[in-house]
Amino acid sequence: MAILVTGSTGTIGTQVLNFLDGHGAEVRALTRSPEKAHFPAGVSAVKGDLSDIDSVRTALDGVSTLFLLAPNAPDELTQAMLTFNAARDAGVKGIVYLSVFKGEAYADVPHFASKMTVERMIDAYDLSVTILRPAYFIQNDMRQKDALLDGGVYGMPVGAKGISMVDVRDIGEAAAKELLRREQARARLPREIYELVGPDAPTGEKLATLWSDVLDRPIRYGGDDLEAWEQRLKAFGPPWLAYDMKLMMRRYQEDGAVATAEDVARLAGLLGHPPRSYRDFATAAAAEWAKD
């Protein structure tokens, strides 16, 4: 039997495959274009897409454990729920599902609400699932490079309440550990939930100060203007996605997304080490940019 990883060529899926590598499990990676994919040695590329349920059902043949990452798409909920049902029908014994931190509180943010609906299904049918709830990805801020280096600005409008940002490597590592645990179990395991969060909860002003320290130059926070931010996002993606992201950031500004000490300690127990910090990321990013 095998582990099937969805979202395999994206930021998180790539990390999951990297952390699964070398642990002896048979791993398959779902991708629309197997001929273009570059996976670790031993990973089998399987053609399919979550928007094509027939391809998903075919890909689930011989699969015992599934990593399910549904894309942020208008039909995200449908894709996720159909895949869950197909996995049940195929006899998959364990699933690791990527949800979202604070999803239950952010009921007005579409991609948060869809993940909470999937969690309701998991709960209602007592499915053998590990739910991983990541906060804002630290590595999203790699996109701040030009603003930081050329403009002296940290431009992500994260507000003043704080967000327990998580390193994508911690997401991949946590997912791989739970996939392997469920794959190696002789029987179905009970449901588990982990909040995937960082050890601190920086604000916009604190991040500007941090980047000033790391880059050794003055960096200011760009402010909380969400209207302008939405317009910038429209230059890179569809209007519905820009508005969805704006709604998320508005809730970050209004309520924050701060983890408890217990959340951080529980994740550290799963990882076997403390969650990676934003400063560690920023220091490494600055060193990489200095080489350019």
Q: What is the pLDDT of residues 205-234, one digit of tens each?
A: 999 999 999 999 999 999 999 999 999 999
Per the structure, the complete domain to which residue 77 belongs is given by 2-136+166-196+260-275
Tokens at residue 220, please?
């200011």
The three-class DSSP label of residue 69 is: coil
Whether residue 271 is contained in a domain is answered as: yes
Q: Is the pLDDT of residue 43 over 90?
A: yes
Number of neighbours of residue 225 by Cβ within 10 angstroms: 10
In a domain, 12, yes or no: yes
Dihedral (Cα; 127, 130, 131, 136), 10-degree rounding: -160
* Domain harbouring 66, CATH code: 3.40.50.720
Residue 25 has a pLDDT of 94
Q: What is the pLDDT of residue 66?
A: 98
Given pLDDT bands bounded at 50, 70 and 90, which one contains residue 151? very high
For residue 116, give the nearest of 126, 102, 129 by alpha carbon: 102
User: Cα separations (Å) of 152 from 23, 145, 219, 222?
Assistant: 44, 10, 5, 9
- Residue 133 in tokens: 């709830």
Measure the CA dihedral 15/153/161/104, to 10°: -40
The answer to whether residue 292 scores a pLDDT higher than 80 is no
pLDDT of residue 291: 87
Measured CA to CA, the distance from residue 214 to residue 154 in angstroms comes to: 13
Total structural domains in the chain?
A: 1
The whole-angstrom separation of Cα 73 and Cα 82 is 14
pLDDT at 205: 98
- Residue 224 placed within a domain: no
What are residue 194's DSSP bridge partners? 132
Rounded to 5 degrees, φ, ψ at 91 are 80, 20
Q: Is residue 241 part of a domain?
A: no
Give the alpha-carbon dihedral of 75, 79, 84, 87, to 10 degrees: 170
Establish if 29 belongs to a structural domain. yes
44 is a domain residue: yes
Note whether residue 28 is domain-resident. yes
Mean pLDDT of 143-167: 97
Q: Which of 103, 33, 23 is nearest to 65 (CA)?
A: 23
- The tokens of 289 are what? 């940019």
Q: Is 94 a member of any domain?
A: yes
Q: How confident is the model at residue 53 (pLDDT cuts 50, 70, 90)?
A: very high
Report residue 106's pLDDT band, with 50, 70 and 90 as the boundaries.
very high
